[in-house]
Structure formats: structure tokens, C-alpha cells
């Protein structure tokens, strides 16, 4: 199924365009893709096994801030100026992220999958994902293939997950904004 943000519908000779809640918003520039992948590969040594019951066997690294999912406490996390600047171009105002991977790198084996779930209340509803590699992303009961360099936007409060990795390795940079209306504030 296509992840483009529109569907075309006909009714009585008229065409209507319907915005859906997952959309391809951009692609990583080809000249950036190799550097970004190299950075992600080098960062696997900093990753830890995911504690979420939805993501058993997946490795991840919190970016900028971390949310303890059991008590909601926000703390500072990994920060890299170059990555921060890239993420601000992808999602202006983002202040929390998660780098995940699937594959075998530097002796670390990560499944890279996550069962269908809704994201914790620490984040606002809109998420963006930078996809490196290829996978099947299930969103709101439908499967979508994400390809190398795809940047998608979706409502993370709807059920979503990664059900299959199609490439030898896959990285995702998942970006959110902290939900200050619910009391989740960045650490200054």
C-alpha cells in the first residue's frame, strides 16, 4: 500500500482527495544517506536492549531526552550537535527521539521489531520517522513498506508497529515533541 498522503476518490463524476494520517513527507538526500547510516552504525555501541514488552530483542538509544516509561520521568539523554541539527530540519521543535536498529553490527544482534502499540503520553500526537533500510510498518491495521531514506509523519496515538525488516539492517530515527500540556517538559 502506498504511504503517500492522499487517496483519490470519485463520487458522481467529481474527484475528492482525502488526507490520511500517515504520509511520506520527504526523503533523506542521497548525499546525506551514507553519512547518516555510518553515524547510526557507529552509535550501536551506545545502544541498550529495549525495556518495552512491545520491543523484545530490539536495541535503541534515546536522543536528546529520555522518558522512563514506568514513571514518566524525563531526563537528559544522548546529544550530538550534528544529529540535533539534522533532526530539527526533519521535525522543527523536536526535543525527544529514539534511534533503533535491526540487524547484526559489532557483535550486537537486534531484532528491530516492535509490536503494535500507541506511544506514551510524554509525546504529542505527531511523530516523524527517518527510515534507513526497508521494513513493513503497520499503521492503524494496514501494512506499508518503508524504503531507504523515507521520512514519514503519522499520528503515534494510533496503533502502529514494525512487523518485518526487509533489508539486511535497518535504522529508524523516531522524533517527537514533548507533550508540555500533560506536564512533560524538556530539561534546560
Tell me the percentage of the chain whose pLDDT exceeds 90: 87
- Looking at residue 136, what is its pLDDT? 98
Is-contact 163 143, C-beta < 8 A? yes
Whether the per-residue pLDDT at 140 is higher than 80: the answer is yes
Confidence of residue 36 (pLDDT cuts 50, 70, 90): very high
- Whether the pLDDT of residue 80 is over 90: the answer is yes
pLDDT of residue 90: 98
Mean pLDDT, rounded, for 1-5? 41
Question: 97-115, pLDDT tens digit by residue?
Answer: 999 999 999 899 999 999 9
Q: How confident is the model at residue 127 (pLDDT cuts 50, 70, 90)?
A: very high
- C-alpha cell belonging to residue 32: 546525506
Give CATH for domain 21-182. 2.60.120.590
For 109, counting Cβ atoms within 10 Å of its Cβ (0-12 exposed, 13-18 middle, 19+ buried), the class is exposed
Give the residue extent of every domain in the chain. Answer: 21-182
Helices 30-43, 81-90: crossing angle, 10 deg rounding: 130
Radius of gyration (C-alpha) of the chain in whole angstroms: 17
Distance CA 24, CA 137 (A): 13
Per the CB < 8 A criterion, the answer to whether 37 and 105 are in contact is no
- 14 confidence band (pLDDT: 50, 70, 90): very low
Amino acid at each position: 500500500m502506498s504511504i503517500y498522503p492522499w487517496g483519490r476518490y470519485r463520487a458522481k463524476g467529481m474527484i475528492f482527495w482525502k488526507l490520511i494520517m500517515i504520509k511520506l513527507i520527504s526523503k533523506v538526500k542521497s548525499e546525506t544517506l551514507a553519512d547518516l547510516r555510518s553515524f547510526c552504525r557507529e552509535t550501536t555501541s551506545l545502544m541498550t536492549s529495549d525495556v518495552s514488552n512491545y520491543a523484545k530483542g530490539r536495541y535503541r538509544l534515546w536522543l536528546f531526552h529520555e522518558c522512563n516509561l514506568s514513571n514518566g520521568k524525563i531526563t537528559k539523554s544522548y546529544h550530538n550537535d550534528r544529529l540535533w541539527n539534522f533532526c530539527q530540519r526533519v521535525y522543527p521543535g523536536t526535543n525527544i527521539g529514539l534511534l533503533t536498529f535491526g540487524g547484526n553490527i559489532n557483535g550486537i544482534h537486534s531484532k528491530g521489531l516492535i509490536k503494535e502499540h500507541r506511544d506514551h503520553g510524554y509525546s504529542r500526537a505527531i511523530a516523524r520517522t527517518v527510515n534507513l533500510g526497508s521494513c513493513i510498518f503497520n499503521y492503524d491495521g494496514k501494512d506499508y513498506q518503508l524504503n531507504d531514506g523515507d521520512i514519514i509523519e503519522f499520528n503515534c496515538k494510533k496503533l502502529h508497529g514494525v512487523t518485518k525488516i526487509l533489508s539486511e539492517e535497518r535504522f529508524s530515527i523516531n522524533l517527537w515533541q514533548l507533550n508540555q500540556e500533560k506536564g512533560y517538559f524538556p530539561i534546560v
